[in-house]
Amino acid sequence: MEKRYFGTDGIRGRVGEYPITAEFMLKLGWAAGRSLASPSCNKILIGKDTRISGYMFESALEAGLSAAGLNIALLGPMPTPGIAYLTRTLRACAGIVISASHNPYFDNGIKFFSSAGAKLPDELEYKIESMLDAPLETVEAAQLGKAERVVDAAGRYIEFCKSTIPSSIGLNGLKLVVDCANGATYHIAPNVFTELGATVIPMAMAPDGLNINLDCGSTKPAVLQAVVKAHEADLGIAFDGDGDRVMMVDHQGELVDGDELLFIIARERLQSGKPLGNAVVGTLMSNLGLEIALRELGLGLHRAKVGDRYVMEWLLAEKLLLGGENSGHIICLDKTTTGDGIVSALQVLAVMVVTGESLHTLKSGMQKFPQLMINIPLPRRIDLEHCPSVQDAVRSAETQLGRLGRVLLRPSGTEPVVRVMVEGDDVTQVSRLAQGIADVVGTAVAA
């Protein structure tokens, strides 16, 4: 059965357009409270990123939860993985994240974490959706939920992040440029790296509600690349709006994406004898170069569907500890329960400190294949798998690429677009084939 509201990463859309409205959030808070509470737990956490609509939705969710008889702990602006961590440590029955991640300020969304700090299982999301159809019934006045603000939420999470690398490892002598995307890490990430001894040059850390992800952050690293070179920094670190993704920039200004970071972490764990398992989990978008580099280390690469929840499903099913996406959403299950940009960055920095090698040198152990992705706007639902012209274009490209190439065509789970990805060993051919398929898809969508 298809879910009506929940997608691969919660509920997301444009603010003011159903269901991303105050009225819906009020009912969602009530439905979540009725679905997630238990006799032994009646507290739910609410955290948010820095977009202006977070104020409105925080209040609406708070009212709905109170009406259902749940107590609320307000975290304020907090990275998504920080909310997952605090949900566990504060023994809440669930955590709610108000965020649209890397999307612009005019979008927003809701994500839930279970009491264990993990994404909700499907059955609970179905239960919440079913409760949305029930009439909202407010509990007796004496049973209404109370709200309190967790004033030390940021400090708690900062200390947790620092604890994910050995206390013997410091970042003294490293000059870092840290791009907070004007998002939820603005008051967290610079403090983490500074307290560990690094010299930090912060950027995009003045959120005004409208500038989250605006020409900054992990999806738009061009300014960071320039600043790293201008300041002759050792590297740059870029987070997305809610802090669950990270990209890095080496001292030469070259981007180091999630696949390369995943390789660096996996190789260090393997060589140092740390628990890892016999494989790493990636996605259909993971670069072929990652698969080849891991194979040379004796490790496999499992390709999950795109989306961190699918990476997590593979990790749990195969009892593995490390997985991620090329977007920089990396999950280190030996450290935490979800993708965490700050924690992932710290794992890479720790490798640099221990080996004495630069990020540029560390990433050179993996040779990326040229890969190009083109997003085609999708104004309506269309079944591209049964569109002859599109499938002919895909088959033709696959034939031309041969064994050292791939074509992937998929609708985005978070945006109204179709993603056309082509990968191969010849950048000119990759570009030509990707544009050719994109043109055919654009024509099919417009027809």
249: tokens are 């920039």
User: Torsion angle, CA of 374/180/45/339, rounded to 10 degrees?
Assistant: 50
The answer to whether residue 38 is catalytic is no
Among the listed residues 101, 286, 327, 344, the single catalytic one is 101
341, burial (CB in 10 Å: exposed 0-12, middle 13-18, buried 19+): buried
Dig out the tokens for 389 from the structure.
């012209």
Cβ within 8 Å of residue 421, ≥6 positions away = 285, 371, 372, 373, 406, 407, 408, 409, 410, 434
The 3-state DSSP class for residue 270 equals helix
Which stretch of DSSP H or E encloses residue 44? Answer: strand 43-48
What is the separation, in whole angstroms, between the first and last Cα of the chain? 29
Q: Exposure of 170 by Cβ count < 10 A (0-12 exposed, 13-18 middle, 19+ buried)? A: middle
Q: Where are the alpha helices (DSSP H) in 70-196?
A: 80-89, 122-131, 153-162, 189-195
Amino acid at 177: V
The Cα angle at residue 25 between residues 21 and 28, in degrees rounded to 5:
140
Q: Annotated active-site positions, please?
A: 101
